Amino acid sequence: MSTHHTRDAVARQPVEVRRGANGWYNDTQEDLLALERPVALVYNGISHAVMMASPADLEDFALGFSLSEGILASTDECYDLEIHEAPQGLTVHLTIASQRMAELKQRRRSLTGRTGCGLCGTEALEQAIRPIPHVMAPPLSDAAIQRSLQELSAHQPLQAATGASHGAAWCDAWGNIKQLREDVGRHNALDKLIGALAREASPLGEGFALVTSRASYEMVHKCASAGIGALVAVSAATALAVEQAQASGLLLAGFARPGRHLIYHRPATAAMATA
């Protein structure tokens, strides 16, 4: 697989701005903007989706999207992955197993749309809420959640530079952040994290995902599809996200801020850790 456009790829752009409070200042300063570019995902030569995304960690993004959307069941079903850049955007070419390609054609889905829009192009209402896999929620302590929040900002260089990106982190059972991916879209950031974990074959039996967004249906579904048993969000959960967490057995927490958080669903099998 190609290693082009990794985390070190340019994902920000300088711009001249005027800063003001009660009035505009006459002097100008340089600021940094997060880049947002069209990224086309092409499977076995057939274009499937065009997403607006930050142009970094695109290998992780393409693989994570493929896994979380059920296009691939495992990384072994992706035989090759190449990234091509053009003035109008980037294209990720994936070569996947023929059986998976046949199933993809049957789905007849086109996801061209807004940043991280997971349901654009869905053809019928019954396709909107897909069956969610069952996961095993790990024990998770309040202290681990709070420890991860303390570490979060130090792992978000794009957010620190631009103020315009989401982050998705993988944290161990003690709340130490082991992986983090950033993107202008919250779904994209989580897909990048899922792809990174899959490429490294990281064990997901313990630990949890931490996202800098609300916990929506899509975020819960992506975690469950990847085998992640616990999701913590810095903003609120939606009603459907809680329903889906209950259906899958996923531990779901939200409004996670320094000193406080809410547990929306903790399965009875996930005894609370004390460390």
Q: Which residues are catalytic?
A: 117
Name, in order, each residue with C-beta under 8 angstroms of 129's C-beta and a sequence gap of 6 or more: 217, 240
Task: Tell me if 255 is assigned to a ligand binding site.
Answer: yes
Residues 6+ apart with CB under 8 A from 75: 63, 67, 198, 199, 201
Structure-token match 């979060």, residue found: 152
Rounded to whole angstroms, how far apart are CA atoms 226 and 135? Answer: 9
Q: Which two tokens stand for residue 144?
A: 């681990």
Residues 6+ apart with CB under 8 A from 205: 136, 138, 229
- Is residue 61 marked as binding? no
Q: Where are the alpha helices (DSSP H) in 208-271?
A: 217-226, 239-248
Tokens linked to 22: 């009660």
Q: Is 259 annotated as a binding residue?
A: yes
At 96, is the secondary structure helix, strand, or coil?
A: strand
- To the question of whether residue 266 is assigned a binding role by annotation, the answer is no
260 marked ligand binding residue: yes
Cβ neighbour number for residue 52 with a 10 Å cutoff? 18
For the chain, what's the residue count? 275
Q: DSSP code of 237?
A: B
Q: Answer whether 81's CB lies under 8 Å from 93's CB.
A: yes
Q: What is the C-alpha end-to-end distance of the chain, expressed in Å? A: 39
Q: Is 257 annotated as a binding residue?
A: yes
**In contact, 36 and 52? CB cutoff 8 Å:** yes
Residue list for the binding site: 255-260
